[in-house]
Amino acid sequence: MGPTWIDQAGAVDVPDVAEALGLRLDRNRRAMRPCPGCGADRREKRGAVRVSHKGRGWWCPRCNAKGDALDLVARVLHRAPKLRDLTAEQRADVRAWYAGRGWCDGGEGSPGIARAPMPIPKRPDPEPLARPEEREVLDLWFACARVTEDAAVAQWLVSRGLDPETVAARDLARALPEDLDAPSWARFSGTPWNRGGWRCIFPAYGPTGRMESLRARSIEAHPPKGMKAAAAAAGDGSATGLVLADAAGREVLGTGAAPRWWPEGEPLRLVVTEGEPDFLTWATRYGETADDAPAVLGVWSGGWTPEIAGRIPDETRVTVLTHDDDNGDHYADKIWLSLAGRCEIRRRAKETP
């Protein structure tokens, strides 16, 4: 006796089946989206659903849906957890779906046409963004000292090749006093920022150019738990949709146009960096009166959103300076996809520090 139709169908890898079902695969075919169980679309920088190393299985960390390629088809066609949960008629649908693609025989009396897949569940609505109260954000910001008034923070800036005087003059960052009683949201894993060394404080701006939260950068050589930077911990979404911005960047976000002083008829220049030190490097690179100084934004995970992209004027010349690693590639791809077709974009990958 030859192989059964299940044996024949089972020889097809999960990525090939997922593609035929209309699911989207990442570049190395190790993740896919959306999840056919819960509709989740993303997990960190990859697709929501993991594909096993050899392409024989899949798993969604969000809803725990999992199985092999046949189970994936069963899930999409009939919302059944596994092939074994289907009725005989439903299993015939799965067989017809495979047979219609030449991946197994259809059997006697096979209609040769599989039932159309059921719609994949709608992507879950995002949780409401959690931000600290605006008054609390401003109170903490104004309670911080100039970076030149705190020897440890100033020394950290110098160690990164930055001039504390320029950072202070442009008010790009401040120093969180060691003895300040920080609010409950200014903590990482229960440790107050100033007790854990996260004492270089940066304002985080939303798509209207308004300060909505703060971000703390460690000045320690070996930060607690390896966390170099911490976002205000009022909720999981507290850093989403927020970016660092210099004065020109804030004006662009606030108006959706080039700064008032930008030469008329000249395309705006915008630099998008990754991380606090690189942001400060570019935000202090030019003199304040330089005619060719670009607007500068700084991004992190979840920072760049369609709302932020929507504030960038058409025909802006955007230089993306993200790190040469997976995270940097993800940020660069996200920026490119959100601006392609209306802005001139180039990427200059920077070595990961």
d(CA 174, CA 67): 51
Helices 88-99/69-78 angle, 10° precision: 110
172: number of Cβ within 10 Å: 23
Per residue in 268-319, pLDDT (tens digit) is: 999 999 989 999 999 999 887 777 799 999 998 888 999 999 999 999 999 9
Highest mean pLDDT among 14-18, 19-23, 224-228: 14-18
When mean pLDDT is compared across 77-91, 105-119, 165-179, the lowest value belongs to: 105-119
pLDDT band at 112 (very low <50, low <70, confident <90, very high): very low
Place of tokens 């679309």: 41
124-136 pLDDT, tens digit per residue, is: 555 555 678 889 9
Contact in structure between 307 and 207 (CB atoms under 8 Å): yes
Instruction: Give the SS3 label for residue 252.
Output: helix
For the stretch 68-85, what's the b/e string if a residue is b when 16 or more beta carbons lie within 10 angstroms of its beta carbon?
Answer: bbbbbbbbbbbebeebee
Q: What angle do CA 171, 330, 16 make, to 5 degrees?
A: 165
Between CA 214 and CA 136 the distance in angstroms is 10
**Does 69 have pLDDT greater than 90?**
yes
Mean pLDDT to the nearest integer, 256-264: 91
Domain ranges of the chain: 5-99, 134-347
Integer Cα distance of 139 and 136 in angstroms: 5
* This model's pTM is above 0.75: no
d(CA 65, CA 235): 27
- Give the mean model confidence (pLDDT) for residues 11-29: 90
Alpha-helical runs (H) found in the chain: 5-10, 14-20, 69-78, 88-99, 134-143, 151-159, 164-169, 193-196, 247-255, 276-283, 306-309, 326-339
Higher pLDDT, 33 or 253: 253
Q: How confident is the model at residue 1 (pLDDT cuts 50, 70, 90)?
A: low
Architecture of domain 5-99: Alpha-Beta Complex (3.90)
Considering only residues 60 and 280, tell me which one the structure prediction assigns the higher pLDDT: 280
Average pLDDT over residues 320-344: 88
Tokens of 169: 């003059």
- Residue 26 pLDDT greater than 80, yes or no: yes
> Looking at per-residue confidence, does 168 or 39 come out higher?
168
pLDDT value for 350: 60
Strand ranges in the chain using DSSP code E only, listed in sequence order: 24-25, 31-33, 42-43, 46-47, 49-51, 58-59, 66-67, 145-146, 174-175, 187-188, 191-192, 198-205, 211-218, 229-231, 244-245, 269-274, 295-299, 317-321, 344-347
202's CB contacts (< 8 A; 6+ apart) are: 172, 173, 214, 215, 216, 217, 244, 276, 279
Cα–Cα distance measured from residue 134 to residue 161, given in angstroms and rounded to the nearest whole number: 32
Q: Token pair for residue 280?
A: 């400060």
- State the pLDDT confidence band at 44, using cuts at 50, 70 and 90: low
Q: Could you report the per-residue pLDDT of 184-224, keeping only the tens digit for each?
A: 889 888 889 999 999 999 999 999 999 999 999 999 988 88
| Average model confidence (pLDDT) across the chain | 86
Residues 184/160, Cβ–Cβ less than 8 Å:
no
Check residue 348 and give its pLDDT.
81
pLDDT attached to residue 341: 87
% of the chain at pLDDT higher than 90: 52
pLDDT at 22 over 90: no
Top-confidence residue, 231 or 51: 51
